[in-house]
């Protein structure tokens, strides 16, 4: 039940609740669209899908606990809460204790989803890239475990974390918040740049490579919010002990935005695939119906009229994966100068991704000895 706050009392709670509720709905919608996309496109489920979906309950729980805190003082000045009921500060601190666990999880699982997405898309024998994926995964997992452990035992005794009146000691919360935020932001940047060498070495025009890089950057634009939360952490962490309920309300804006946009980012590729699949199903092109000119993208000389729309949509969903695999193979040196026909137009029976006038063969396999077989 909401507090009986005197009229005119400054309160950040209502605006925070409205914003957090809207963000929670958005995160649920994007996750549901990912599930729908998997069913429509008929792509096999993998680890990136598991972590993407598993991120949602943590984010929803975080927002739910935060909203419950606004009902007992979050958003008010600590002095106003103390004047109403001093025990509410202890109850609020308990909720903060829970929120720390949920937030660490809510931003870590999307990172793992992004790493597994790279592993699924850039399928190659590129040892260096595989090592980078393992390193990044270890950094994210290590960060999550260490923050959870330090959160549990941040004070001795543990109850002092929410009851400052108890005898004991606690870690420096300001330094702890700042250091964990720095590492989290650095990891986000690491994940962001991982695919850059693979894409840039693709045998494609510069404009096309820039387009693909922009698509990846937009799909992981959460780095902007991660940096914003880091700046806010440096600004607010030293002040939390003086006015916890007021300053934490401002900090929670960044917490909610980062967690929700992490979920949005990792679901964007699946939603794009869903939109394309539905567009081809509802608005088939002449080549889809077989009534138009033969050929795909106007230059393959092979008709796709005999293929079903669902099959074509599934192929297009896998197309970017095929292109990424070709980029990975080239980066690893798997394609020799005599085998560049992997990038030539292909017949209708080969799954391909059309990028303007570039067509990528998808039946290319790269062996450890550097040879190629089709």
Q: What pLDDT digit, counting tens, does each position of 199-226 carry?
A: 787 777 888 888 777 777 766 777 788 8
Name the one residue in this structure whose structure tokens are 């009986």. Answer: 4
d(C-alpha 350, C-alpha 223), whole Å: 37
Cα separations (Å) of 151 from 22, 119, 254?
28, 31, 19
pLDDT at 308 over 70: no
**What is the per-residue pLDDT across 65-113, written as a single tens digit (0 to 9) for each?**
999 999 999 999 999 998 888 899 999 999 999 999 999 999 999 999 9
CB distance 106 to 81 below 8 Å = no
Is residue 260 predicted with pLDDT exceeding 80? Answer: yes
What does the alpha-carbon distance between residue 371 and residue 332 come to, in Å, rounded to a whole number?
A: 12
Q: What is the pLDDT of residue 363?
A: 45
Q: What are phi and psi of 155, to 5 degrees?
A: -130, 150
User: Which fold is adopted by the domain 15-279?
Assistant: Rhopdopsin 7-helix transmembrane proteins (1.20.1070)
Q: Are 150 and 171 in contact (CB under 8 A)?
A: yes
DSSP secondary structure letters along 35-87: HHHHHHHTPPP-HHHHHHHHHHHHHHHHHHHHHHHHTTTBTB-HHHHHHH-TH
Grade residue 286 by pLDDT with cuts at 50, 70 and 90.
low
Query: Looking at residue 219, what is its pLDDT?
Result: 66
Within a 10 A sphere around the Cβ of 366, how many other Cβ atoms?
24
Query: Is residue 275 within 8 Å of 38, Cβ to Cβ?
Result: no
Mean pLDDT over 192-204 rounds to 81
pTM, rounded to two decimals:
0.73
Q: Which of 301, 289, 346, 294 is nearest to 322 (CA)?
A: 346
Residue 234, both tokens: 């440096």
Instruction: Return the pLDDT at 2.
Output: 60
CATH 1.20.1070 residue spans of the chain:
15-279
In the predicted structure, residue 306 carries a pLDDT above the cut 60: no
Classify residue 127 by burial, with Cβ atoms within 10 Å: 0-12, 13-18, 19+: exposed
Reading the block at residue 36, the tokens are 């729908």
122, 328 Cβ separation under 8 angstroms: yes
CB 251 within 8 A of CB 15: no
Report whether the peptide linkage leading into residue 136 is cis, meaning its omega lies within 30 degrees of zero.
no
Q: Is residue 332 over pLDDT 50?
A: no
Give residue 305's pLDDT. 39
Residue 167, by phi and psi: left (phi above 0), alpha (psi -120 to 50) or beta?
beta
The DSSP-derived string for 267-330 is HHHHHHHHHHHHHHHHS--HHHHT-S-SSSTTSS----TTS-HHHHHHHHHHHHHHHHHHHHHH
147-163 pLDDT, tens per residue?
A: 999 989 999 999 998 88
Mean pLDDT, residues 276-303 taken together: 56
Phi then psi for 11, rounded to 5 degrees? -150, 115
């Amino acid at each position: 039940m909401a507090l009986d706050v005197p009229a005119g009392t400054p309160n950040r709670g209502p605006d925070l609740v409205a914003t957090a509720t809207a963000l929670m709905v958005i995160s649920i919608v994007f996750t549901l669209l990912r599930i729908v996309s998997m069913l429509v496109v008929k792509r096999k489920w993998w680890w990136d899908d598991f972590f993407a979906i598993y991120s949602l309950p943590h984010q929803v729980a975080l927002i739910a606990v935060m909203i419950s805190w606004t009902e007992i003082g979050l958003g008010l000045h600590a002095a106003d809460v103390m004047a109403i009921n001093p025990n509410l500060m202890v109850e609020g601190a308990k909720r903060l204790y829970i929120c720390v666990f949920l937030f660490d999880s809510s931003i870590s699982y999307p990172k793992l989803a992004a790493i597994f997405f790279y592993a699924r898309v850039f399928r190659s024998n590129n040892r260096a890239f595989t090592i980078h994926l393992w390193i990044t995964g270890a950094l994210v997992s290590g960060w999550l475990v260490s923050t959870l452990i330090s959160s549990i035992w941040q004070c001795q005794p543990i109850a002092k974390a929410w009851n400052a009146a108890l005898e004991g000691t606690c870690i420096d919360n300001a330094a702890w918040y700042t250091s964990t935020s720095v590492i989290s932001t650095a990891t986000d940047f690491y994940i962001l740049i991982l695919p850059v060498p693979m894409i840039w070495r693709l045998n494609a025009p510069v404009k096309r490579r820039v387009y693909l890089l922009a698509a990846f950057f937009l799909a992981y634009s959460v780095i902007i919010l991660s940096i914003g939360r880091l700046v806010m952490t440096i600004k607010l962490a030293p002040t939390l002990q003086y006015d916890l309920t007021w300053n934490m309300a401002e900090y929670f804006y960044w917490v909610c935005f980062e967690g929700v946009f992490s979920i949005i980012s990792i679901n964007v590729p699946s939603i794009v695939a869903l939109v394309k699949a539905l567009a081809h199903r509802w608005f088939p092109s002449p080549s889809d119906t077989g009534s138009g000119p033969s050929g795909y993208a106007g230059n393959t000389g092979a008709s796709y009229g005999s293929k079903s729309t669902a099959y074509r949509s599934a192929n297009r969903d896998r197309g970017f994966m095929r292109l990424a695999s070709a980029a990975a193979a080239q980066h690893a040196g798997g394609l020799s100068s005599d085998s560049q026909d992997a990038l030539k137009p292909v017949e209708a029976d080969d799954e391909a991704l059309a990028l303007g006038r570039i067509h990528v063969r998808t039946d290319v396999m790269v062996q450890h000895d550097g040879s190629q077989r089709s």
